[in-house]
């Protein structure tokens, strides 16, 4: 079989022969056969793990760890995970550390897992016993108290919309079962106006500054990085410069909810902010849906940097809007480019514009 072409190498027979070569410690032949198996069957987690065993037996722990990581990406396996941890420890100990036996390195960590499981069981048992004793000895003559209503703090909105300070959206706990019908959405209140153009003409009362209170600076997953890089290739309509590092996406692949934050560059040429934000927000939504099919709903927010009364830069949320795949694809399938009025009223639900940020 070692003389066959890699494209004709059957996986079960190849793995069986590879196991024999490893058992005979014929490392050169085993490595060659393993590489042909990986080339012929690139999705075989077992073939990748076998190459990790061969490298580990020859104390090439760095290479072994790479093969094990590739195997785990293809298929989760507790034994392979144990081998990976073993070679990482061996690599940290130095080249003179003992090489793990292929296929056997997962046994030692299992002892630790069993001990940990027993300890956890004992802790839970003690906790249950304590709670049971406490409930038994609890006085029984105390009547049931009526539930106390929890009051929500009142919010006195200014003339610029319904969003309260710091009221940034959070990801839904589950996929929405229903979606708003396209073209049927209603605008949120903007004082006496429906859009920021009209809001600038309306009388303004006391306003509250909307500050950034939700951080998305945590570790990014692979899907976050992939989506963020794709969004970074979009360009600003006014300058033609790419968004680049001015955009960041945080995606929950289980619920399909995505939070996208766009920072308007401080050095952006003086231009009406509302048209720039609405046009860019729609382009961002389309790109996100086309890049990752798991995206089902999203919140898009734009940050701007303004100079406060003390002469210091202050980052504020200028715009926030929600949309979903069904709504955006309604226009894409009809090859319709929504105007800004349609974007505000129908494409983005619960739209909000910060009344302290000039729209024009």
Q: Is the pTM of this model over 0.75?
A: no
Within a domain: residue 163? Answer: no
Q: What is the DSSP string of 154-206?
A: P----SS-SPPTT------SS--S--PPTT---PPPBTTBSSHHHHTTS----
Task: Please determine, for residue 11, whether its predicted confidence score (pLDDT) is greater than 70.
Answer: yes
Residue 128 phi/psi, 5-degree rounding, is: -65, -40
For residue 146, being part of any structural domain is answered with no
Task: Report the Cα–Cα distance between both ends of the chain, in Å, rounded.
Answer: 74
Each residue of 210-250: pLDDT tens digit? 444 444 445 788 889 999 989 998 999 888 888 888 999 99
**Structure-block tokens of residue 272:** 């009406």
The pLDDT tens digits for 237-285 are 888 888 888 999 999 988 999 999 999 998 777 788 899 999 999 999 9
Name the residue with higher pLDDT: 299 or 169.
299
Does residue 102 sit in the same domain as residue 200? no
pLDDT at 117: 79
**334 and 228 housed in the same domain:** yes
Which CATH number is 104's domain given? Answer: 1.25.40.10
Q: Could you give the C-alpha distances from 68 to 42, 57, 62, in angstroms and in order?
A: 14, 13, 10
Q: Are residues 95 and 211 in the same domain?
A: no
* End position of a domain, from candidates 57, 91, 108: 108
- pLDDT at residue 58 tops 70: yes
For residue 279, tell me if it sits in a domain. Answer: yes
Please report whether residue 185 resides in a domain. Answer: no
Tens of pLDDT, residues 327-344: 999 999 999 999 999 999
Q: Kindly indicate the confidence band of residue 325, based on its pLDDT and cuts at 50, 70 and 90.
A: very high
Q: State the CB neighbour count (10 A cutoff) for residue 185.
A: 19
What is the SS3 assignment for 264? coil
pLDDT at residue 131 tops 60: yes
In a domain, 122, yes or no: no
Identify the pLDDT of residue 148: 45
Q: Is residue 220 part of a domain?
A: yes
Structure token digits, residue 89: 């420890």
Establish if 123 belongs to a structural domain.
Answer: no
- Domain's final residue, options 108, 141, 170: 108
| Separation between Cα atoms, residue 6 and residue 36, nearest integer Å | 5
Return the higher-pLDDT residue of 343 and 132.
343
Give pLDDT, residue 330: 93
Q: Is residue 169 part of a domain?
A: no
Which range marks the domain in which residue 32 is found?
A: 6-108
Q: Are 99 and 218 members of one domain?
A: no
- Can you list the alpha helix ranges (DSSP code H) found in the chain? 11-23, 27-40, 45-57, 61-74, 78-93, 107-137, 196-199, 222-232, 273-291, 325-333, 340-342
Per the structure, the count of domains in the chain is: 2
Lowest mean pLDDT among 46-55, 108-117, 154-163, 297-306: 154-163
Q: Of 111, 109, 105, 13, give the one whose Cα is nearest residue 53.
A: 105
Does 222 lie in the same domain as 346? yes
Where a domain ends, among 86, 108, 130?
108
Do 303 and 206 fall within a single domain? yes
């Amino acid at each position: 079989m070692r003389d066959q072409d890699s494209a004709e190498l059957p996986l079960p027979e190849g793995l069986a022969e590879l196991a024999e070569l490893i058992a005979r410690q014929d490392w050169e032949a085993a490595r060659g056969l393993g590489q042909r198996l990986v080339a012929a069957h690139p999705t075989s987690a077992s073939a990748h793990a076998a190459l990790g065993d061969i490298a580990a037996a020859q104390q090439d722990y760095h290479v072994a760890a790479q093969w094990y990581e590739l195997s785990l990406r293809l298929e989760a396996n507790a034994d392979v995970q144990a081998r990976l941890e073993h070679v990482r420890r061996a690599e940290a100990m130095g080249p003179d550390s003992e090489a793990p036996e292929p296929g056997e390195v997962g046994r030692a960590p299992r002892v630790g897992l069993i001990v940990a499981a027993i300890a956890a069981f004992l802790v839970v048992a003690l906790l249950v016993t304590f709670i049971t004793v406490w409930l038994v000895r609890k006085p029984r003559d105390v009547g049931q108290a009526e539930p106390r209503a929890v009051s929500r703090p009142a919010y006195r909105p200014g003339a610029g919309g319904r969003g309260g300070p710091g009221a940034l959206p959070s990801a839904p706990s589950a996929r929405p079962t229903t979606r708003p019908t396209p073209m049927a959405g209603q605008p949120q209140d903007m004082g006496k106006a429906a859009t920021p153009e009209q809001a600038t003409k309306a009388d303004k009362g006391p306003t509250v500054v909307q500050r950034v209170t939700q951080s998305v600076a945590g570790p990014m997953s692979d899907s976050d990085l992939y989506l963020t890089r794709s969004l970074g290739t979009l360009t600003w309509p006014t300058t033609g410069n790419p968004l680049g590092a001015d955009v960041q996406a945080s995606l929950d692949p289980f619920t399909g909810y995505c939070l996208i934050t766009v920072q308007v560059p401080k050095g952006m040429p003086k231009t009406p902010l509302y048209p720039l934000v609405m046009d860019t927000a729609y382009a961002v939504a389309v790109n996100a849906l086309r890049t990752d099919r798991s995206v089902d709903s999203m919140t898009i927010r734009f940050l701007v940097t303004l100079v406060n009364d003390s002469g210091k830069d202050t980052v504020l949320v200028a715009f926030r809007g929600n949309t979903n795949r069904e709504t955006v694809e309604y226009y894409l399938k009809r090859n319709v480019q929504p105007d800004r009025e349609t974007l505000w009223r129908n494409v983005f639900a619960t739209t909000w514009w910060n009344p302290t940020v000039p729209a024009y």
